[in-house]
Each structure stands twice: as structure tokens, then as C-alpha cells.
Structure 1
């Protein structure tokens, strides 16, 4: 049965250091902007400055706004409205009234096994894959999100997963996941959305190619041994030798490779590569170690990242793949933004960079919230990955028939 109530979103940000006042400010703003609509999903992002008050934050919000579907976490820096509040007190709330949409929360823990992949306590409760999306938040010290995403890719192909790893904590138990019935100091917590809301995901990896693409002709685990039949280290050295000075310096400071998502492709464009770091070299084997498992026969591209390329990439993706402009009522669509904690003022000279680019690309003053993550989750191609140094965006709007 189709509901008559409209799709509606609201968001509120408070930088008030007094926790009770910050919470009150955000709740009052949400209530006003929801304009009588009942929220079906609430996202909460809060800085560690709010300390002990975080413990009952989820239950208090659930009681006041009348929903148990609450997700979110603590973050080193918090996003809301037009701002990215870095390393200062902040609370950001986001609410969505989602007619004809089933929202189901779930939690999961991981059990490690020596010399084997971990096992997981739960799967997302997905019914109809073609109309499903997942929001996922996890603790980086206790939950191997990359392994979990591999499981979800295999068991729920084509279902997008967007979210991030809680940040700001320096060790196990310090990052907190926020739910309607309290906190989780480990594991993962998320929500499945099925039905009337469409979630358009955008992942900006912010790199540009240098040199030419190479075919991986020999590899072992995370080692690239040969490229185009030649020792990988020799190919890397030759590539560096022919780079302009600035690109060479960028690569030496932060070396990246792109691994082609589609092995059948021979020409590549934006979004065709999964960006991974070079984590070392093996001189004896003349091999390059990367932070993934490169497959023999796949294409590898050397990459560099700087503020200009990251800015241009996000702007272009939001313009071309962000679902176009969001027309009409500013509360009829919403967005969540998960930026790497290595972005912000650490990467850009302008304040509020990522949220400004997202808003400009959508051409709307839509409700937006998020945080700086210790790893961002989002799809590249048709598979979901855990990223670094990226901006992962989820845009919510009515599903088009």
C-alpha cells in the first residue's frame, strides 16, 4: 500500500560545547524542519568532546523523535549543514521520513580465526536486493570491514553499502557506535533500507593517472611481481624517471596504484580503478607490495593524489553521477557525507571543502550530515570497498519508477 506522507529530510548541527544545550538545539531544529513528519531513520554523529553525555544519547533521541532506527558513531571531526567542524565540539543529527520504505537495523561482531578469514555473527536483513541499500558504521579496531564487505559483495551482489569507520579513538573501546538502545564499543551497526527511497552513492577517490596502464603478468598475494612481463620494480623506476618533478615528488610522498575493476576493459576513465596504496617493495623479488590482492591479468595504473586532483574529482563526480540536481522542496532529499580524516584542512587550503563541493554538485540546500572517518565505505563499480583518503556520499531521494 502506498503512503500519502511525503519523503522528508531534516538535519541539525550544533557546535555548543555544553552537551545538553547542543542536544536540545539539534532536536528542536529537527522537530521544526520535519514539520510533523515522523522520522523512520536517524543518523547521529558526535565528537568525543561530549564525553559521558554520549552514553544515553541514542535512547534520548529515540524517545523524543519516536523511532528506534538510529545509526551513527563518534568522529574526530563532524559534518553538518555547510560546515566541517574539525577537532572541536560538535553534534550533527540527520532525520529521514521515508514513506513506503522498510528500515531495519542490525549489528554484527567478528570472530577472528588464525590463518583464516574471520567469521561474522550476522548478515544484513535484506529481502528484495534490487531496491535495497545498506548504511554501515564500524569500529576500526575490532571489526574487519574489508572482509565483511567481501562477504556482502558475494551474498548480496549489487546492493550498495555506504558508511564509515568511527574515528577519533586511539585504541580499542574508544570509538563508539550509537544506537537506539545505547552504545556499542566494538563491532558494526547499520541499517537496511528497502523500497521507496533511492540511495545514489558517489565515491571520490581523488587520484589522477601518471604513466601508462600495465597488465599484471605475475603476482602473489599482495605482491605485484611483473608488469607487462617485466619486473615490477623496474617498471616503477622507469615510470618515476619520466614523470615531471612535481608528480615525482607527489608519488614519492604518497604512492598509489589503481587496480581496474573490470578486467575486460582496455580503455579507462574516471571511476574504473580501485585506488590502493603501495606499502613497500621487495628488492630481492623486484616486486611491489600493495594494500590489496592484485590478480594476474588485471590492469594496474600508477596514480598520484593532491588537493587539486581530489577537488576536481569530487566536483566532477557530484555533477555527473550524483543523480543530477535535486529540484523542488529542499527537504525532499537528503545526503550523508563520509570524508577521510586525512582530508579537510589536512589536504585542502579552503575550509569545509568536501561538503561545499557536495552541495554545489546537487544544486540544492538539502539536509546533510556526516563525519570524518578512519576508513570510508562505498561502491566502486558494482562492488563495495573500504577506502582511504576518499569522500563517500549517499544521496537519498524518492525512487524513480
Structure 2
């Protein structure tokens, strides 16, 4: 038997009816197979009526396992639903796979924060992770998943909406949860990660010569802020205009002639001390470089990386889950359906679903990281 994936969406206002409609559409591609895993994302009215949404999905699909979350906006099959209530349902049948879902909660380990809910016997397969948007240490979860299975890819996104009373919504099995993180270990499933940070490197490569955790004190032996200003002054006019819309710094994740960078905005700067602060711990000797982001660069980068994944599979995938930043979409690109449309076009209409996240999860240089303004895609081989 082969991998079968289906997806569906609905904007019908009645949450249960919408979930049944989306689930029924997703079921059409499964050729009568019961789904091993269903992933659902619900926004607006469907988030508010979370129990009814979940009931409708179970009625339509009777899945063996299910995860999902409440979000600000969803996407599916080349469409993005940013300004209306909608639900998307993604269903996969994976013969011979052993899928285990989990619910992580914050616990205590000898006075230090730890996580409860990840079984030692969960397996070493790739993982999906959907954290709640409040009070959950996503980095700690990524560390735990990496320690349990070094090198495994983890894809996902932070839930991007709350109910009207300020409650996050996560789905697992037949339960609606209000905190922590849900996810799935996909043993026996071939899932390829695609991470598009949508940026281009500009200016010189700089070496961190003194650092303390997330504080960079010197670059190339010069106070970091001074060296960064000099690098900006040396940019061309067009590159300098891109930097003016937001300063982005990439930290190399590997020692290579063309390293992959984890790109983030600067967290802060101290003009008196000449230091800058970034979002990740940086070691002395690390390489950093300025990066620029605009709509054209972001669109091109995603399409290029999707095409590489399709090439690696030697054809269209069975399906995909898409986690794109809630800062992208029509307001950033100037037109609707850019990210969802790229996935749909390049993957030949393969079933896809996803959401606009408050933080995107995916690997850079084989290290699973939390991103911003990124699109990460879990690509499932046929």
C-alpha cells in the first residue's frame, strides 16, 4: 500500500458543519483508508467552538490519531484565509508507520524547568510540534526531542490565536487542551523539511571575537555596534534601503564556505558599551552576516527551496504541512495566496494545509530552531 494524504477546508460558519465538510473533502483522497493521523487548524468562529470543530472532524474521519491548534488564519490547497473564519483538515494514511502523539506540559526537574509528556518509547522518527502561544518553552521542547533522537527533523509552528476569553486551544485525540504543546512522532514516515527564511545575505562576513551568551561585545576585534555600523555604511544604496526596514543578523550554523545562517532581528543594543544583543547564544569565533528581506526575496527563496525538495523526491510529494509566519501573507506580499500558492504550484497540487504561525519551527544545518518571518514546510514522500 502507498502513502495517501488528503486535505480540505471550509468557511461555513457553523463549526461542526464546517469540520465535517473539510474532513469529508480530505477523506476523498484516502481511497477508503482510515487516516493514521489528522491535523486540524481552526480560526475565528471555529476556534471559539473548538469542541464542535473537533467533533465534526472525528465524525467525518474517525482518525487513529489527531493533533491541531487554534490559529489566527489558515491555508490549504493554494488558498489563504486571512480575514475570515475557516478550518483546514489534513489527513494521512501511512502504511506500516507507528505514529505516537503527545502533549507536553511544563514540569519541575530538581528545581529546574522540565517537560512532562514525552514517552521514552515514542521512537526516533521525524516530529511535528504545535506549542501554545503562552507560557511554553518551545526551545526546551526542541532540546528534549533532539536529545531523544539526535538529527531528527522537527517541523511546526506556534499557535497564533486565543479565544475571546484569552484561552489557547490545542487538539489531541478527542481532547481540547488549553496549554503546553501537542505533537506527533512519525516513525516509519518519510518527512523532508523545507525551511525558507526568505532573506539574502549582504555585506561582509564578520567574526564574533568576544561574546557572553546572547550579547556580542566585539566583531572583528572592534566594538560590535561600531563594526556593524561600518558594515552598513559600506553597503550599496539598494542594500542599505533594505536594511532600513529592519536590521537582520544571521548567525552561521556551520563552518563552511557557504554556511547556513539562522537569521533574526537584533534584540537590542547598548550604545555606551558598544554591544548588540541577538536572540540566540553566540560563541566566540562564530561568523555573522547582515541579511535583507523583502517580498520579492521571500517569494523567490520559498519557491527555490520547494523546487529543491521536489527534485530530491524525484517528483511531487504525497502532501505537505505548511507553517508560515503571521507577518507574511497579503499585507507583506501585496497580494493573497503567495506562500500557499507556491506550495500548490510547485508540488503539483499535492494536498496541503497549514496556518499562519506566531513562530515557525524547522531545522537549519540539521539543528531544529524557532524562527520568525519564515515559512517551514513538512514535505511527505509518496
Q: Secondary structure at the match of 1:217?
A: strand
Structure 1 residues 83, 202: CA separation in 2 closer, same or farther (over 3 Å shift)?
Answer: same
Structure 1 residues 288, 172: CA separation in 2 closer, same or farther (over 3 Å shift)?
Answer: farther
Structure 1 residues 58, 6: CA separation in 2 closer, same or farther (over 3 Å shift)?
Answer: same
- Number of aligned residue pairs: give it: 382
Q: Which residue of 2 aligns with 1:359?
A: 344
In the superposition, the TM-score normalised over structure 2's length comes to 0.93
Where does 1:359-378 land on structure 2 (aligned, <5 Å)? 359-362=344-347, 364-378=348-362
Q: Which residue of 2 aligns with 1:137?
A: 130
Structure 1 residues 11, 101: CA separation in 2 closer, same or farther (over 3 Å shift)?
Answer: same
Where does 1:1-400 land on structure 2 (aligned, <5 Å)? 5-111=1-107, 118-123=113-118, 129=124, 132-169=125-162, 173-195=166-188, 197-262=189-254, 264-265=255-256, 267-268=257-258, 272-324=260-312, 327=315, 333-362=318-347, 364-398=348-382
Q: Distance in 2 between matches of 1:278 and 1:102?
A: 41
Residue pair 1:203, 1:391 contacting (<8 A) in 2 also: yes
Q: Secondary structure at the match of 1:253?
A: coil
Structure 1 residues 68, 173: CA separation in 2 closer, same or farther (over 3 Å shift)?
Answer: farther
TM-superposition CA deviations, 1:223-278 (whole Å, max 9, x none): 1111111111111111111223343233233111111111x32x115xx1111211
How far residue 117 of structure 1 moved from its aligned partner, in angstroms, is: 5.9
How far residue 358 of structure 1 moved from its aligned partner, in angstroms, is: 1.8
How far residue 326 of structure 1 moved from its aligned partner, in angstroms, is: 6.4
Residue pair 2:78, 2:343 contacting (<8 A) in 1 also: no
How far residue 88 of structure 1 moved from its aligned partner, in angstroms, is: 0.7
Residue pair 2:47, 2:163 contacting (<8 A) in 1 also: no
Q: Distance in 2 between matches of 1:214 and 1:234?
A: 12
How far residue 153 of structure 1 moved from its aligned partner, in angstroms, is: 2.4
Point out 4+ residue stretches in structure 1 off by more than 6 angstroms: none
Q: Secondary structure at the match of 2:27?
A: helix
Moved more, 291-300 or 147-156: 147-156
The RMSD of aligned alpha carbons is 2.2
TM-superposition CA deviations, 1:75-110 (whole Å, max 9, x none): 111011110110211110010010010111111111
Q: Distance in 2 between matches of 1:121 and 1:43?
A: 22
Q: Distance in 1 between matches of 2:165 and 2:179?
A: 8
Q: Distance in 2 between matches of 1:153 and 1:117?
A: 19
Q: Distance in 2 between matches of 1:170 and 1:67?
A: 25
How far residue 182 of structure 1 moved from its aligned partner, in angstroms, is: 1.8
Q: Secondary structure at the match of 2:118?
A: coil
Residue pair 1:202, 1:322 contacting (<8 A) in 2 also: no
How far residue 28 of structure 1 moved from its aligned partner, in angstroms, is: 2.3
Q: Distance in 2 between matches of 1:172 and 1:15?
A: 22
How far residue 68 of structure 1 moved from its aligned partner, in angstroms, is: 3.7
How far residue 304 of structure 1 moved from its aligned partner, in angstroms, is: 1.3
In the superposition, the TM-score normalised over structure 1's length comes to 0.89
Q: Distance in 1 between matches of 2:250 and 2:239?
A: 16
Q: Secondary structure at the match of 1:372?
A: strand
How far residue 385 of structure 1 moved from its aligned partner, in angstroms, is: 0.5
How far residue 291 of structure 1 moved from its aligned partner, in angstroms, is: 1.1
How far residue 174 of structure 1 moved from its aligned partner, in angstroms, is: 2.5
Q: Distance in 2 between matches of 1:53 and 1:170?
A: 9
Residue pair 1:104, 1:125 contacting (<8 A) in 2 also: no
Structure 1 residues 355, 377: CA separation in 2 closer, same or farther (over 3 Å shift)?
Answer: same
Q: Distance in 1 between matches of 2:123 and 2:68?
A: 24
Query: Which structure 1 residue ranges, 5 or more long, are not aligned?
Result: none
